[in-house]
Chains A and B, each alone.
With several copies, the nearest count.
Chain A
Amino acid sequence: MGTASDIKLIDENGLRIDGRSPTELRPLKIETDVLERADGSAFIEWGGNKILVAVYGPREAYPKHTQDIEKAVVKARYNMSAFSVDERKRPGPDRRSVEISKVISEALSAAVMVEQFPRAQIDVFIEVLQADAGTRIAGLTASSVALAAAGIPMRDMVVGCAAGKVDGKIVLDLGKEEDNFGQADLPMGILAKSGKIVLMQMDGDMSQEEFEQATALIMDATKRIYEIQREALAGKYRALALERSGE
Chain B
Amino acid sequence: MPKDEAGVLSEIKRNYILKKLKEGRRGDGRSPDSFREISITTNYVPRSAGSAYVKLGRTKVVAGIKIESGEPFPDTPNQGVLTTNVELLPMAFPTFEAGPPNEGSIEIARVVDRGIRESKMIDLEALVIEPAKKVWIVFADIDVIDFDGNLIDACTLAVASALRTAVVPGSTEGGKDFALPVRNLPVSVTMVKIGDEIVADPDLEEEQLSTARITVTTTADEHIRAMQKGDTGYFTLDEIRKAIKLSSDIGRQIREKYFK
- A–B direct touch, CB within 8 Å, in complex? yes
Bound state CA distance, A231 and B167, in angstroms? 37
B92 interface contact, C-beta 8 A: yes
**Chain B residues numbered 213-233 whose CB sits less than 8 Å from any CB in chain A:** 214, 221-233
Closest to A205 in B: B223
Given A202-B227, A203-B225, A215-B237: A101 touches B141 (CB 8 Å cut-off): no
Residues of A near B235 (CB, < 8 A) are 196-197, 200
**Chain B residues numbered 226-260 whose CB sits less than 8 Å from any CB in chain A:** 226-237, 240, 244-245, 248
Q: Is the CB of B94 within 8 A of A56?
A: yes
Contact with B along A201-225 (1 / 0, CB 8 A): 1111111100100010001000000
Q: Is the interface of B mostly helix, strand, loop or mixed?
A: mixed
Given A83-B48, A129-B62, A202-B224: A35 touches B91 (CB 8 Å cut-off): yes
Range for the number of chain A residues in contact with chain B: 35 or more
**Chain B residues numbered 49-74 whose CB sits less than 8 Å from any CB in chain A:** 51, 58, 60, 62, 64-66, 68
**Chain B residues numbered 137-167 whose CB sits less than 8 Å from any CB in chain A:** 139, 141, 143, 145-148
Q: Is the CB of A130 within 8 A of B47?
A: yes
**Chain A residues numbered 70-108 whose CB sits less than 8 Å from any CB in chain B:** 77, 79, 81-84, 86-88, 91-93, 95-96, 98-99, 101-103, 106
Closest to B184 in A: A205
Range for the number of chain B residues in contact with chain A: 35 or more
Given A35-B60, A99-B106, A203-B226: A197 touches B91 (CB 8 Å cut-off): no
Residues of A near B75 (CB, < 8 A) are 3
* Of B13-21, B82-90, B128-136, the one with at least 4 CB within 8 A of chain A: B82-90
B9 interface contact, C-beta 8 A: no
A137 interface contact, C-beta 8 A: no
Q: Is the interface of A mostly helix, strand, loop or mixed?
A: mixed
Partner of A91, one of B48, B79, B85, B147: B85
Interface on B for A, CB 8 Å cutoff? 44-48, 51, 58, 60, 62, 64-66, 68, 75-76, 79, 85, 87, 89-94, 98, 100-101, 103, 106-107, 109-110, 114, 117-118, 139, 141, 143, 145-148, 214, 221-237, 240, 244-245, 248
